[in-house]
Structure 1
Amino acid sequence: MIKPKFISMLSLPSKISLLVFLLFIWRNEPTNAKEDIQYDINADAWVVMESETGKVLLDKNMNKQNFPASITKIITAIIAIEERELSEIVMVSEHAQNTEGSSLSLKAGDQISLLDLLYGIMLHSGNDGAVAVAEHISTNETDFAQKMTSFVKSIGAKNSHFTNASGLPNNEHYTTAYDMAIITRYAMKNAFFKEMVQHKTYNWDEQLWRDTLMTHEKSEAKEYGIAWEGKPKIINHNRLLGLYEGATGIKNGFTHESRYTLVGSANRNGSELIAVVLKSANVDTAYKDIITLLDEGFRIKKASSDQVKRINEEVSTNNVVEESVLDNSNSKETESNSTIPIENQIIYASILGIITFLILTFWVKIRSKK
């Protein structure tokens, strides 16, 4: 423990230097959580990132390339939001109608607002809707996929490449957990995107409410515990919104090639984290993985915050408690002893820092062996 009286004898610059040194040493302690959590995660690759700073708190194989499946639609959506007006009307093509996989039951010739399509692809994960958006922006899906790849590289996602707007498997369609965290962090800065991915349901256009879509959504509502009113309404497939307190999104995905992928986010006490898991074995392990990672990420955040608070309490002159009544002789003695040359202060702070470092290093080694 740093003695308050000793700290009171240091000048303000020396106190600041000591605080910075201790923060540098102590900030690394929580990263040992990586060693413990590896065995609790089923996914092949994962990462936890601070939304505000982009700092990685936890990771495994975060730069390993994997198939993303429908979390691809995060890129499709943010490009559309930034480049077009939500009120624009999109014409559905035959190519979009025939897209395999999850579907909004769109038909060639359907006209639908870009706003509705974005909710349809992010909540219901409609592949046909994703293709319709791509063709609306870039004429054809291939050109749009090139735009997707260029876009993500421009924001720092260097190890991703896309060949379609929906996430259907292709050997040249891949990403990494780290890249998806970067992409998601960027997208969540957009107010509309952030609001959209928090919706559990969305009222659908009655003209496009077909029997196949209604049957599917009725089943989804029952599975997710959402009251079914019989009205045209699409259900968000992201179960995290109902499983995790403070969840703020974002998107799940699945193909046989990718297995289960999931990008989740949550806010706790004003701090938001983004977690990504790629290639988890099944839907249950994917959500268990993301919940474990978010819990551990918030634990690390709290531990770091508590450490900073403890250091500030030690260093702050407001916490230095001196005797309120001193006789004249003691006052003079204290005054004479409290004046330490700056050179000695630097030496004292350096020695104290080294001792603190050795103690913490020894402590961390003991913890890692437990």
Structure 2
Amino acid sequence: MKVNKKLFIFVLCFMLVSIVEFSIASEYNAPPVNGKSGILLESESGRILYSNNEHQRLPIASTTKIMTALLALEHGNLDEKVKVDKKSIGIEGSSIYLGYDEEISLKDLVYGLMLRSGNDSAVAIAIHVGGSVENFIEMMNEKAKEIGANNTNFTNPHGLHNDNHYSTAYDLALITREAMKNDEFKKICKTKLWVAERDINKYFYNKNKTLWQYEGGDGVKIGYTTKAGRCLVSSATKNGMQLISVVLDDYSWFNDCYKLFDYGFENYKPMVFYDKEQFIKNINVPNGKIEKLPVITENSLVLPLTEDELDEVKIIIDLPDNIKAPIKKGTAIGKIKVFKDGELMTSENLLAKKNIYEKGFWDKAVKFFKEKKLKK
């Protein structure tokens, strides 16, 4: 992948900064939405392109099931058979109509969870994966904190109302971004119809109209309760860019998400700053058996930018001139930081490309005599 040269302005310095959340919003005017809160986030970079009350804690209804599905995929075997516990029977709201002692695969349960929004499926998954609903809820909250969804608290695996069960548009976008890294999750979200291996109630149609109504729609999850209102987490991918849109308590939920998608795709383009493991610079290693250490990027970086923003971007490389051996391959040596209009957008590690061992006595002696000979 070729790097756009216009993006690069390299400056060398020696300060250290920590990785920060990249949430610089656009100066463009995004279309208004009708929900209590909302967000538009570019998936790869995590850049926020639009936000409104994105940190407001609100009930989230069945969008809860994004986390339930993610944990099922991370901790379960989809081919395993699950024997339905009586605690999973007769849960109010949306259902896949599980029967007592029914044996159903975890895969069918997850499809029933995400497409049909089965609350009974959510409880069956929780018991199977967590050992109990209570243990599974602990897993949900631990995962939320791990992702950085710090304004989220789960009290159940399905999203039926509880005053202490809440999240935010921002947190749901983070959770969805994490879930979308899982190929199986992406596949499930995009499935319009799933036929389960059971005798009755086996057709699961996806309730998320994004798959039919928006070009490039990836689905994700809808949710509704009287207290939460209409909640939608949706995703769309076009022109090499994936956007995640979240609206909470929004009567115009689908239309508002589509407006945000249009805004994002029309105004932003993914710009390649650098590739994964791209060479940056050689650093002197005076006491090393190899005296030059090649330094490379840890990851690739692609950021969504408007045309007007290109000239505001600078890349700063923080690396020492010299470093002492021994050095282990993959060790973080410095930072590569991207600034827009003076504000830090993102920061990534720069890594040692190879192992370099310290010179021994004979290495130093050979070097000494070679240098002495050259001087004569």
Q: Structure 1 length normalisation: TM-score?
A: 0.67
1:201 maps to 193
Residue from 232, 244, 248 that aligns with 1:274? 244
2:262 maps to 295
1:237 aligns to 2:241 (yes or no): no
- Preserved CA contact (<8 Å) 1:260 1:278: yes
Shift of 1:152: 0.8
* Partner SS for 1:33: coil
1:115 aligns to 2:98 (yes or no): no
The CA deviation string for residues 144-185 of structure 1, in whole angstroms up to 9 with x for no partner, is 112101111111100000010011000010000000000000
Structure 2: distance between partners of 1:51 and 1:104? 31
1:87 aligns to 2:83 (yes or no): no
- Where in structure 2 are the equivalents of 1:279-358 lying within 5 Å? 279-281=249-251, 285-302=252-269, 304-307=305-308
1:145 aligns to 2:137 (yes or no): yes
1:176 aligns to 2:129 (yes or no): no
For this pair of structures, how many residues does the alignment match?
265
Structure 2: distance between partners of 1:65 and 1:126? 24
The CA deviation string for residues 220-279 of structure 1, in whole angstroms up to 9 with x for no partner, is xxxxxxxxxxxx421000011101000012110001010110001001101000000111
- Preserved CA contact (<8 Å) 1:247 1:266: yes
1:136 aligns to 2:128 (yes or no): yes
- Preserved CA contact (<8 Å) 2:25 2:49: no
1:48 aligns to 2:36 (yes or no): no
- Preserved CA contact (<8 Å) 1:91 1:111: yes
Shift of 1:16: 3.2
* Partner SS for 1:164: coil
- Preserved CA contact (<8 Å) 1:31 1:57: no
The CA deviation string for residues 41-73 of structure 1, in whole angstroms up to 9 with x for no partner, is 111100001100011110000000011100100
The CA deviation string for residues 84-137 of structure 1, in whole angstroms up to 9 with x for no partner, is 111111111111112111000111111100011100100000000010000011
Query: In proportion to residue count, which structure has more helix?
Result: 1
Shift of 1:30: 4.0
2:180 maps to 188
- Preserved CA contact (<8 Å) 2:24 2:48: no
One-letter amino acid of the structure 1 residue matched with residue 177 of structure 2: R
One-letter amino acid of the structure 1 residue matched with residue 307 of structure 2: D
* Partner SS for 1:175: coil
Structure 2: distance between partners of 1:29 and 1:75? 26
- Preserved CA contact (<8 Å) 1:123 1:237: yes
* Partner SS for 1:197: helix
1:33 aligns to 2:61 (yes or no): no
Higher gyration radius (CA): 1
- Preserved CA contact (<8 Å) 1:30 1:300: no
Report the more deviating stretch, 293-302 or 243-252: 293-302
Shift of 1:28: 7.6
2:231 maps to 261
Q: 1:187 to 1:28 in 2, by over 3 A?
A: closer
* Partner SS for 1:184: helix
One-letter amino acid of the structure 1 residue matched with residue 259 of structure 2: T
Structure 2 residues without counterparts, runs of 5 or longer: 12-22, 270-303, 314-340, 343-376
2:365 maps to none
* Partner SS for 2:9: helix
1:246 maps to 216
2:283 maps to none
Structure 1: distance between partners of 2:158 and 2:39? 22
Structure 2: distance between partners of 1:145 and 1:206? 28
Shift of 1:311: 9.1
Residue from 63, 69, 84 that aligns with 2:61? 69
Query: In proportion to residue count, which structure has more strand?
Result: 2
2:88 maps to 96
* Partner SS for 1:121: helix
Structure 2: distance between partners of 1:267 and 1:82? 24
Q: Structure 2 length normalisation: TM-score?
A: 0.66
Q: 1:28 to 1:44 in 2, by over 3 A?
A: closer
CA root-mean-square deviation: 2.6
One-letter amino acid of the structure 2 residue matched with residue 287 of structure 1: F
Structure 1: distance between partners of 2:79 and 2:305? 45
Shift of 1:139: 2.2
The CA deviation string for residues 304-337 of structure 1, in whole angstroms up to 9 with x for no partner, is 343467899xxxxxxxxxxxxxxxxxxxxxxxxx
The CA deviation string for residues 325-364 of structure 1, in whole angstroms up to 9 with x for no partner, is xxxxxxxxxxxxxxxxxxxxxxxxxxxxxxx99xxxxxxx
Percent same amino acid at aligned positions? 38
